[in-house]
Copies of this chain bind each other. A is one copy, B any other.
Amino acid sequence: MRALILSADGFEDSELLCPMYRLREEGFQVDIAAPEWGEIKGKRGYTVTANLSFDDVQSSGYKILVIPGGKAPEAIRGIPRVQDIVKDFFKVQRPVAAICHGPQVLISAGVIQGRKATGYKAIAGEMRAAGVEYVDAEVVVDGNLITSRQPSDIPAFNREIVTALNT
């Protein structure tokens, strides 16, 4: 069983680490993809190894896509290959979980118009402008889409990730 995280330098450390550890706890191999493979560094200084570049990703191999927050989503949202990966997951309605600034990537991929979702309060306006029904809740599940607002929502975010993987 494999899970995919899309990120880059400047990720919100706990929003990458805690879901990554939670997925490993469930027995998943967690692949991390970034602009280039190699070490990426979070806002707080934690480092993780991106074992794939975006170009290396084969979307079909993964049961879930996770997009942590921080500054990384803004940095990668405009990359066509990132948008294509996101679209691959939505095409087959496979779970996509985004937290904090993560939904910015979904907006740029054009996949969440008309969907119910949440995200960091600073991007609520941007989400609504993109046609999202923004809900101020710790987690919002709408079909294959799981979204949360901030690090303190991680318990609910992880709970819904695991639920989605077991259904």
Decide yes or no whether A17 CB sits under 8 A from chain B: yes
Main secondary structure of the interface of A (DSSP, over half): helix
Q: In angstroms, how far is the closest chain B Cβ from the Cβ of A116? A: 22
Which of B21, B45, B154, B158 touches A44 (beta carbons < 8 Å)? B45
User: Cβ of A13: which chain B residues have Cβ within 8 Å of it?
Assistant: 13-14, 44, 46
Bound form: Cα–Cα A159–B21 in Å: 10
A interface list, Cβ under 8 A from B: 13-14, 17-18, 21-22, 24-25, 44-46, 151, 154-156, 158-159
CB pairs A–B below 8 angstroms (15 shown):
A13-B14, A13-B44, A13-B46, A14-B14, A14-B17, A14-B18, A14-B46, A18-B22, A21-B155, A21-B158, A24-B155, A25-B155, A25-B156, A25-B159, A44-B44
